Structure 1
Amino acid sequence: MDRFEEMRNFVRVVERKSFTKAAGDLLIPRATMTNSIQRLEARLRTRLLDRTTRTVVPTLDGEAYYRRCVDILAELEEADGIFRRTDPRGLLRVNLQGTLARKFIIPRLPEFLERYPCIDLMISDGDRFVDLVHEGFDCVVRSGGLSDSSMIARRLAILREATVASPDYIARTGMPETLEDLKTQGHTMVCFLSGADDKPIPLDFTVNGTVRQMMLPASISVTSADSYAACAYAGLGLVQVPRYRVADDLKAGRLVDILPEFPPDPMPVSILYPQNRQLSVRVRVFVDWVANILAEADI
């Protein structure tokens, strides 16, 4: 095993805080991973990792060596991509927002894999906050505002949003014609909790080019996009969702468009990756491919 493989193994152990998870990511036996780190520490004549029964953390020397390894491995992959001109290859771990993935990305994956047959994809989807480094993801695609300054973000698209409710809900509460009607008629909202701190997201409406935020009473709060939309169908209150998601239901009358003249602020879609590393070739081609798909989509 050469030094670059040892570096790669060490970096993955630090990021995953586990020999077992790191070995699984790199598709090697755990014993091979353990022996690799032992040889590395013996060659450098220093302890790089502190091991406990629950986790693995770098020592001070290990933290310094980790930062250098990340830079060196990124430069090496970049150089290989330029001069060898081989197809991108290896395992690519991505985390996608679930609805966006199922609607636009997953149906087009066959063409991506045909174009890049040497890339193996591991896809996780959901709406929760993820720690890219410690959970072992190469990149994450998310919609909505971004608050994690430790990540580099590239905007991929802008989603038009709609305020919607079920016909039964409107029959009970009334159809609002102004923003003031939302309060005078006694409207309620489904509260969407976002981010690691489960912060409630207010409804927002664009009035003469200015976004006005509003909180309405809510008897239910959710943390997933699927549950959020399901609450609207169940007549539990107003929700604001990407228009592409409810376009068919609006046409069929299963949902009602509320105050379309005051649309929600469009929602950005971004891809994030750690700022302490360059984009690998396989991540770069995936990012560009997703950007092209969303540029072509009716969103």
Structure 2
Amino acid sequence: MDQLLAMRVFIRIVDAGSFAKAADSLNLPRSSVSKLLQDLEQHLGTKLVERSSRALTITAEGEAYRDQAVDLLADLDAMDLSARSTRSVPRGRLRVDVGSSLANLVIIPALPDFRRRYPDIDLLLGVNDRPVDLVGDAVDCVIRGGELSNSSLIARRLCHLEYVTCATPEYLAAHGMPSHPSDLHGDHVAVSYFFPQTGRILPLQFARDGDPVEIEPRSAVSVSESTALTEALLAGLGIGQTFGFSARPHLETGRLVSVLEDWTPRSHPLHLVYPATRHQSAKLRAFADWAVEIFSGMV
């Protein structure tokens, strides 16, 4: 048994949640993946994964072994990398998934600089606002906002994303300027974001003096994509909260007007996220360093 390969297979099975996804992402036959896990369990004398017809469940022993295996393989990868030439050129295909507003307004305009620096990297840029399965979808990294819940992933913080509560002058002339978030329950309607997986509409979130407030006004239009949210605001369909970097050009020209400025809208950190087993990739490291650079100082 190739124990290092078996360890990598075991980690991939756990992260992917199935033998089939693990086999596909590793380009191995499913029978080989199953055999390697069986051999590893036999070698260790313990069950790492409980199998059923519907799901895989990692055992307590498997969880402890996985955490140690991730650290060990990361160290081995680092040793291999340091033994190679430090002048190796980042090259090859790199798949990155990013939300639509960030892709269209930040990443893509800066890509000529990335191409000049790294002409041997072929970038596959997935543009969507949906959650991504890093292992199952064979994605090298994602750029996403919010707090991280998966401890098996590595995250590099890029910036802190601020939101702006705004509407068009025409909308405000027709409906009035709100002075308190609760005013949005009156004659106002909202342009909202909804989660495509569940259909849940994200409430408008505010804070002042440390006290959070959530408001759920009637939504005239709800969209599941961040660029469309800004466009709906520009169309005068209601009041809403959109990324500061997306609204800023329109605030400067007067097409949008900031409202409820005494109340801080929601905000969250932005991270570049990737699996622990890929953190030594030269092409991924090059992209991550570049992303940190272009997002530095962004609000």
- Provide the aligned length of Structure 1 versus Structure 2: 290
Equivalent runs, 1:1-299 vs 2, <5 Å = 3-26=3-26, 28=27, 30-31=28-29, 34-35=31-32, 37-39=34-36, 41-42=38-39, 45=42, 63=63, 65-84=65-84, 85=86, 86-87=88-89, 92-109=94-111, 111-112=113-114, 115-116=117-118, 121-130=123-132, 132=134, 137-143=139-145, 145-146=146-147, 148=149, 150=151, 153-176=155-178, 178-179=179-180, 182-183=183-184, 186-193=187-194, 198=200, 200-204=202-206, 213=213, 215=215, 217-220=217-220, 221-253=222-254, 255-259=255-259, 261-262=261-262, 264-265=264-265, 267-271=267-271, 273=273, 279-282=279-282, 283-295=284-296, 299=299
Shift of 1:293: 0.8
Supply the distance in 1 between the matched residues of 2:289 and 2:102 (Cα, whole angstroms). 16
In structure 2, the residue corresponding to 1:231 is in which secondary structure? helix
CA contact (8 A) 1:50 1:57 kept: yes
In structure 2, the residue corresponding to 1:155 is in which secondary structure? strand
Gaps of 5+ in 2: none
Shift of 1:294: 1.1
CA RMSD between the two structures: 4.2
Percent of counterpart pairs with the same letter?
Answer: 33
**What is the TM-score when the length of structure 2 is the normalising length?**
0.71
Supply the distance in 2 between the matched residues of 1:117 and 1:69 (Cα, whole angstroms). 34
Gaps of 5+ in 1: none
Supply the distance in 2 between the matched residues of 1:162 and 1:6 (Cα, whole angstroms). 49
Are residues 24 and 101 of structure 1, via their aligned partners in 2, closer, same or farther at CA, if it must alter by over 3 Å?
A: farther
Supply the distance in 2 between the matched residues of 1:36 and 1:149 (Cα, whole angstroms). 24
Are residues 277 and 195 of structure 1, via their aligned partners in 2, closer, same or farther at CA, if it must alter by over 3 Å?
A: farther
Shift of 1:146: 2.0
Once the two structures are superposed, residues 221-271 of structure 1 have per-residue CA deviations (whole angstroms, 9 ceiling, x without a partner) of 444323422332333311122232133434455x32133753744734421
Amino acid at match of 1:35: S
Once the two structures are superposed, residues 10-43 of structure 1 have per-residue CA deviations (whole angstroms, 9 ceiling, x without a partner) of 43233223445334434x3x43x53355256347
CA contact (8 A) 2:189 2:218 kept: yes
Are residues 35 and 248 of structure 1, via their aligned partners in 2, closer, same or farther at CA, if it must alter by over 3 Å?
A: same
Are residues 218 and 71 of structure 1, via their aligned partners in 2, closer, same or farther at CA, if it must alter by over 3 Å?
A: same
CA contact (8 A) 1:271 1:287 kept: no
